[in-house]
Structure 1
């Protein structure tokens, strides 16, 4: 199936094809349409420049910022957990919701639901795989738990992952450990290493003859550390070990394809960096491995080799899935490489400002191969939870304090709608805390 979300594809064609029979052009918000046309014009101009130069073009990003309806009463520097959607995505979600309320059973299941195949194709294009290897889920947790609970293991089989992987995944594996006698092998990886190779070595050293699976984050949610996924996956494959990559924080934040990872399985949320509706996700399963994975919710045996068996969750909103299409359209209009360059530019902007401030240190590498939008800093001698509470209560700056057994700090995650003024304000406040401490209450 030809991908309808290519860079030469425009919003008018998409709305006409996706909403055939519903008069969506009449329903579409004129304001949202005008904003997207303005963004398209800017991206055509930007095509003549490098992503790195566009990253510093505040006129270009002012247009992008106008595409969101976020409040400026709060400086939101926690975009790692969930991100606001552009207006065009929210408008599409509302539009599809109204549609599915009209003759609901007929509209949802016979008219709207089949259109999700178009969404599957668009997601496969971004990830660089066959559409028949992509399942549309509700979040990264559902995608990854489908895999972790759907694989066959024997008592004593070992699963290798890190102490910094996402807690829900560790909980899932511990449940299987308790119920079935699997062994969860947790390894420590260095924080902000000088050499990315130092992140792969612990995996290789921890492998035993009983290791059957490696689960690793593409980007660690605590620090923004980008892991050497390809190196670990190729090493594992040479030893007959399967690999699951948790891409919850990497997908659509920085540019990569499936072949850059060489993993067997991949799961992510789409409501983070793709800016899709809340409660949307993606599961990738290598085609020849689909039959061996049990679905979380049972599907007929005839669907054993069909990726859609992982979507058998009962009644669900067609609107949520179809509005992913507008998120894909917005992502492609921005351009994956331009978006990545801007996110890294914003991260380095505040990191460079704070780098020379006494008592401030970083749990994230400045190396471009090791980090992008997400970074973690600390202030010597001050509890990050107290810092986070003060930033929000006094200055309405929303951050993510991190308290881990191996380190503490505050995670900062700007986004394409974040302004330099907001980052300047954040840096001024943090500099004051580092120099003078927190005000006594």
Structure 2
């Protein structure tokens, strides 16, 4: 059975939309069905159908998936159907059929990132996963945690908690704008390590520049030294292929509500089997299962929705998704390159690229541009701490979206 046909067979989409989506004479403005997606004659039409399946208004240019990704009507419908089922018999269904479907999401996550189900914990977001590490890792005063100055505040929180409670030292590598090569980054990370380094925490895809961290080369350095290698994966799953075994990371924390386009407040944490004895958290004291005595009652509906979003990703194909995001980002960068008054701070090296393009402004105010864009229904990201802007290019975006944004940028910058 093909991936797309399997997606249709297993999808709960029909539970939500039987009266409107599967009728013989579907209205012209009705959202696409799983059959429509599976039978798309080419990729361009497939991506158009994905855009039509979103709840975003037609005139809204959404270039901020890096903050929150829009869920498809299918995912929203799955969550809604699960909530209705739950409330029809809360105890019976929560620990019955819905609980079984929720637990199955751990397996979907494992398949998606190349892990075993025993290595997966379901969380609410990337931050919660890294905070879990921060509350349980046994460090000694003076032990060092190496990270960068480009990390998200949520990821940093767990690290600084370790510094405050264990006497550990957080060291931050000064990252270049923009990075030139994977070798340059590996050298910076290696130069920051000492005999006291116990943890290295890095973003798989930078929230500031969109740079892809060369984890394979870095893990070749950390693994022999028994240094825990932790990945903040908030910006990676859903736009690039993630294989935790190939990357060589020990922990990988991510969210479902960005590039995976899943329900908000969903996420997962991968902990490599070989290091699980070192990560003794109260949250996983009983087991890593979706529901346990330590986890307490979970939001089964949104977790099941995360599973639905993973199914959609698998159906489309992550390599196809990555190619689309990279092509749009390359087009955006090419159009920006050489424009006066700004500098691209996303890397140009192919091995470091992602679907994110960020620019640093010379004099124009990033907030003023951000506000003007928003007034014109163009949603981008204002980067705090920098006079910079970030554009996230996902599969539902088009070159026309990029052109409209760039036209507005040129207009505002004069």
Match of 1:89 among 75, 80, 84: 75
- 1:411 aligns with 390
Relative to structure 1, is the Cα distance of residues 13 and 72 closer, same or farther in structure 2, using a 3 angstrom cutoff?
closer
Distance in 1, Cα, partners of 2:117 & 2:159? 29
1:40 and 2:22 are equivalent in the alignment? no
Q: How many residues align?
A: 405
- Per-residue deviation, 1:31: 4.8
Quickly say closer, same or farther: Cα 1:328–1:284, change in 2 above 3 A.
same
* 1:111 Cα deviation after fit: 2.4
The alpha-carbon distance between structure 1 residues 402 and 27, as it changes in their structure 2 partners (threshold 3 A), is closer
Aligned with residue 400 of structure 1, among 381, 391, 394: 381
How far apart are 1:386 and its partner, in Å?
2.1
- Determine the C-alpha separation between the residues in 2 that align with 1:167 and 1:296: 23
Q: Which of 69, 88, 92 in structure 1 is aligned with 2:55?
A: 69
Q: Residue 160 of structure 2 corresponds to which residue in structure 1?
A: 174
- Secondary structure at 1:332 match in 2: helix
1:369-388 alignment, distance < 5 Å: 369-388=351-370
Given that 1:5 and 1:329 are in contact with CA atoms closer than 8 Å, whether structure 2 keeps it comes out as: no
Aligned equivalents of 2:246, 2:304: Cα separation in 1: 28
How far, CA to CA, are the matches of 2:65 and 2:290 in structure 1?
30
* Contact 2:16–2:78 (Cα < 8 Å) also in 1: no
Helix, strand or coil for the counterpart of 1:315?
coil
2:303 to 306, 316, 321: 321
Q: Relative to 1, partners in 2 of residues 1:347 and 1:209: Cα closer, same or farther, differing over 3 Å?
A: same
Query: Would you say the 8 A contact 1:342–1:416 is kept in 2?
Result: yes
Partner of 1:425: 404
Q: Residues 156 and 6 (structure 1 numbering): CA distance in 2 closer, same or farther, change over 3 Å?
A: farther
Partner of 1:264: 250
Quickly say closer, same or farther: Cα 1:311–1:140, change in 2 above 3 A.
Answer: farther
Once residues 29 and 192 of structure 1 are traced to their aligned partners in structure 2, the CA distance between those partners, rounded to angstroms, is 50
1:32/1:87 contact within 8 Å kept? no
In structure 2, the CA distance between the partners of 1:206 and 1:307, relative to structure 1 (3 Å rule), is farther
Displacement after TM superposition at 1:146 (Å)? 1.0
Distance 1:348 1:428, change over 3 A: same
SS in 2 for 1:78: coil
Structure 1 counterpart of 2:139, from 119, 133, 153: 153
Contact 2:103/2:289 (<8 A) preserved: no
Q: Give the TM-score taking structure 1 as reference length.
A: 0.86
Distance 2:165 2:2 in 1: 44
Counterpart in the other structure of 2:104? 118
Q: Deviations over 1:333-360 (max 9, x none)?
A: 2111111111112212222122132223
* 1:195 equivalent in alignment to 2:181: yes
Match for residue 358 of structure 1 among 315, 340, 345: 340
Partner residue of 1:335 out of 317, 340, 344: 317
Contact 1:136 1:311 in 2 (8 A): no
Q: RMSD of the alignment, in Å?
A: 2.3
Q: Distance in 1 between matches of 2:160 and 2:10?
A: 48
Question: What CA deviation, in whole Å up to 9, does each residue of 1:391-441 have, x standing for no partner?
Answer: 223x2322112243xx5310111322223322211111112334x2xxxxx
CA distance in 2, matches of 1:222, 1:205: 22
Give the structure 2 partner of residue 137 of structure 1. 123
Distance 1:208 1:96, change over 3 A: same
Q: Measure the CA separation in 2 of the matches of 1:311 and 1:217.
A: 31
**1:191-250 CA distance string (max 9 Å, x none):** 222222111111111111111111111111011111111111111112221111111101
Matched, 1:11 2:8: yes
1:164, distance to aligned residue in structure 2 (A)? 0.9
Match of 2:28 in 1: none
Q: What is the DSSP-based 3-state SS (H/G/I as helix, E as strand, rest coil) of the residue aligned with 1:369? A: helix
